[in-house]
Chains A and B, each alone.
Chain A
Amino acid sequence: MIELNYILIVSAIMMFAGIFGFLTRRSTLAILLSIELMLNSADINFAVFNRMLYGQSGNTEGFFFTLFSIAITAAESAIAIAIMVNIYRLIKDTSVDKLTKMKW
């Protein structure tokens, strides 16, 4: 059986790769992908903790959190992409460098 630590390391790498992508990517869609990476790393954590640490006593909170989290993430992405489509219609671009009309 794979040890808990290895999976946690994978999820931590995913999390911080997501944060790095969020901060450095210029395309809003790439930013959205990075956020998905972050959310999925948290889901992995929940599933793994539940499976390996707390599964014996019939505790399923972690699995349920994962399920709900996936559903909510899908809804969020739908709204975010709808807004991006609207921006593309208005300015024919979705790069964050162009979303600078309002600042300071």
Chain B
Amino acid sequence: MDYSQFLHMPEEASLLAVILILFLADLFMCKEPKDGETISQKPSAINVVAIGLLSIHTLINLLPCCNGCMQATEAFGGMYQHTPMMTVIKSVLNIGTLVVFLMANSWLRRPENIVKQGEFYLVTLFTLLGMYFMISSGHFLMFFIGLELASVPMAALVAYDKYRYESAEAGAKFILLALFSSALLVYGLSLIYGATGTLYYSSVGALFSGDTLLSVIGLTFFLSGMGFKISLVPFHLWTADTYQGAPTVVTAYLSVISKSSAAFVLFTVLVKAFAGDSLMAEWNTGLYWIIIASITLANIFAIQQQNLKRFMAFSAISQAGYIVLGIMGGTAQGMTSIVFYILVYMVANLGAFAVINVIEQNSGKIRIDDYDGLYETNPHLSFIMTLCLFSLAGIPPFAGMFSKFFIFMAAFNAGYHWLVLIALINTVLSLYYYLLIVKAMYIKKNEHPIAQFQSDGYTRAALVICTTGVVVLGIGGVFYNYIDTLSYGIDKMLGAL
């Protein structure tokens, strides 16, 4: 075997190194506090190690020229594929995970979690590794292993608060439905294998010319499996319960990192493996109705929610609909706009979750009514929350407006005019419920508002990253152009087929 092939996968190697070092560090650093000993407020060693290592990993991967990943390569006979666009999406996921780690600190500092801090970091990084493999897969086996590596530890994360019943219930709902959907997915893959005799995306794409019964059944099972991961509407029923019950930090991770990687993979697999003209028409029709249902139903449900995490769950379902809008037609422009949308959605959503998390850790309050009069006591947090919600809704000066614009443009150019119109109307609808929270914070009066508190340094760092992202990413389209120059990878992919 040619071991130099591992050099083609620098991101995975670097993340694996981080995981191994962290695993050893956790053995020696995570000490259980003795009886009567209070937990000191100074940062514990494992937090610093985890955040430091992940920062180094993120920075190394952000330097594009140093690891030779600016050209498309493949390893292990095409099972592992790599394009520059994949480096970008992996870097985006890295930054998101880093922000999640920063905001996790105040939660991990609680007495019941202090002995298992290292586990949180490790399990989270394992899911990230799974997403890497899933993104870079060129073969359905690799894709399946990555998908499971990304979703099985995720169930452990969701049920992480062992003493809280809601967390356990959320974990049970998540793992049962995840298993169900992956069973459907594997059955679909087995039919694809039966029809073509291969599982390489490129060979499957070449052999699947017509819409035979087997190929359409395989496509349907595949779409439902991925729809579960992205939480699109007919497959979204787990989302609200899991998001509400899971620890807020895990909810943030689930709603951004997990969802974005799955959306990216859905795009690449659909374009590579289901590329025949008639099949393309099939999945475009399927996605068309899925998108309309996701955006509209999620908006209607979001308006009625009182629990803020549940509210964010429905908001996330609707945002997933917008992300998938970029897949329509399978164009290179769609690819660029999806990656840009994911980046912007990530900073805005993580910013909102960072605020929710820090307020929950300090006051235990999670309902929208509790946020009444927040501006009086915590003006800075209210302001950041407002920025993030405006960006999620797509109000002009912030990045969210541009990302929505690019996504709509891509779908419009692909010829889906009515779909774009429906999505636009829904954007206005979504503005209503995002503004409900802003109204609660700024205008409503409250006799017992959330008391003023000082958030910890890690959370502040996370908030700074998110706020900067929300304000800066929209300016000048520099980031969009950068991503666009890289999207030749998918052009080549499309050309090859």
| Set A35, A49, A50, A80: member contacting B183, Cβ < 8 A | A35
B166 and A101 form a contact (CB under 8 A): yes
Q: A68-B145, A102-B241 are in contact. Are A46 and B190 (CB under 8 A)?
A: yes
| Set A22, A45, A65, A83: member contacting B171, Cβ < 8 A | A83
Q: A61-B193, A62-B193, A68-B141 are in contact. Are A99 and B173 (CB under 8 A)?
A: yes
A83 and B155 form a contact (CB under 8 A): yes
Q: How large is the interface on B (under 10, 10 to 19, 20 to 34, 35 or more residues)?
A: 35 or more
Q: Binary interface profile of A, 87-104, with partner B (CB < 8 Å = 1, else 0)? A: 100110000000101111
Q: A42-B186, A61-B198, A69-B186 are in contact. Are A83 and B168 (CB under 8 A)?
A: yes
Q: A38-B180, A90-B168 are in contact. Are A79 and B155 (CB under 8 A)?
A: yes
Interface residues of B in 138-184 (CB under 8 A from A): 140-141, 144-145, 148, 152-153, 155-156, 159, 162-163, 165-166, 168-173, 175-176, 178-180, 182-184
Q: Is B271 an interface residue (CB 8 A)?
A: no
Closest chain-A Cβ to B189's Cβ sits at a distance in Å of 7
Q: Which residues of A contact B191 (CB under 8 A)?
A: 45
Q: Is B244 an interface residue (CB 8 A)?
A: yes
Q: Is B400 an interface residue (CB 8 A)?
A: no
Total A residues in contact with B, Cβ cutoff 8 Å: 42
Interface residues of A in 22-69 (CB under 8 A from B): 22, 28, 31-32, 35, 38-39, 41-43, 45-46, 49-50, 53-54, 59, 61-62, 64-65, 68-69
A101 and B179 form a contact (CB under 8 A): no
Q: Which residues of A contact B241 (CB under 8 A)?
A: 102-103
Question: Whose C-beta in chain A lies nearest to the C-beta of B305?
Answer: A104
A99 and B169 form a contact (CB under 8 A): yes
Question: Whose C-beta in chain B lies nearest to the C-beta of A57?
Answer: B197
| Set A18, A45, A54: member contacting B197, Cβ < 8 A | A54
Q: Which residues of B contact A45 (CB under 8 A)?
A: 187, 190-191, 193-194
| Set B141, B148, B166: member contacting A76, Cβ < 8 A | B148
In the bound complex, CA of A87 to CA of B159 (Å)? 10
In the bound complex, CA of A67 to CA of B243 (Å)? 33
| Set A42, A43, A65, A75: member contacting B199, Cβ < 8 A | A65
- Tell me what chain A mostly uses at the interface: helix, strand, loop, or mixed: helix
Question: Whose C-beta in chain B lies nearest to the C-beta of A64?
Answer: B141
A79 and B180 form a contact (CB under 8 A): no
Q: Which residues of B contact A38 (CB under 8 A)?
A: 180, 183-184, 187
Q: Which residues of B contact A76 (CB under 8 A)?
A: 148, 152, 175, 178-179, 182
| Set B169, B180, B198: member contacting A101, Cβ < 8 A | B169
Closest chain-B Cβ to A42's Cβ sits at a distance in Å of 4
A87 and B180 form a contact (CB under 8 A): no
Closest chain-A Cβ to B208's Cβ sits at a distance in Å of 16
B183 and A99 form a contact (CB under 8 A): no
Question: Whose C-beta in chain A lies nearest to the C-beta of B164?
Answer: A90
In the bound complex, CA of A18 to CA of B447 (Å)? 54
Q: Which residues of A contact B163 (CB under 8 A)?
A: 90
Q: Which residues of B contact A68 (CB under 8 A)?
A: 141, 144-145
Q: Which residues of B contact A53 (CB under 8 A)?
A: 194, 197
Interface residues of B in 278-334 (CB under 8 A from A): none
B180 and A35 form a contact (CB under 8 A): yes
Interface centre among B155, B175, B183 (most CB of A within 10 A): B183
B187 and A90 form a contact (CB under 8 A): no
| Set A28, A39, A86: member contacting B159, Cβ < 8 A | A86
Q: Which residues of A contact B176 (CB under 8 A)?
A: 28, 31-32, 35, 80
Q: Which residues of B contact A72 (CB under 8 A)?
A: 144-145, 148, 152
Q: Which residues of A contact B180 (CB under 8 A)?
A: 22, 35, 38
8 pairs from A and B in contact (CB 8 Å cutoff): A18-B183, A28-B176, A45-B193, A49-B190, A61-B198, A62-B193, A65-B189, A79-B156
Using CB atoms and an 8 Å cutoff, list the residues of chain A in contact with chain B. Answer: 15, 18, 22, 28, 31-32, 35, 38-39, 41-43, 45-46, 49-50, 53-54, 59, 61-62, 64-65, 68-69, 72, 75-76, 79-80, 82-84, 86-87, 90-91, 99, 101-104
- Add 8 more A-B contacts to A35-B179, A45-B191 (CB < 8 A): A35-B180, A43-B186, A45-B187, A79-B156, A80-B155, A82-B156, A86-B171, A87-B172
Using CB atoms and an 8 Å cutoff, list the residues of chain B in contact with chain A. Answer: 140-141, 144-145, 148, 152-153, 155-156, 159, 162-163, 165-166, 168-173, 175-176, 178-180, 182-184, 186-187, 189-191, 193-194, 197-199, 240-241, 244-245
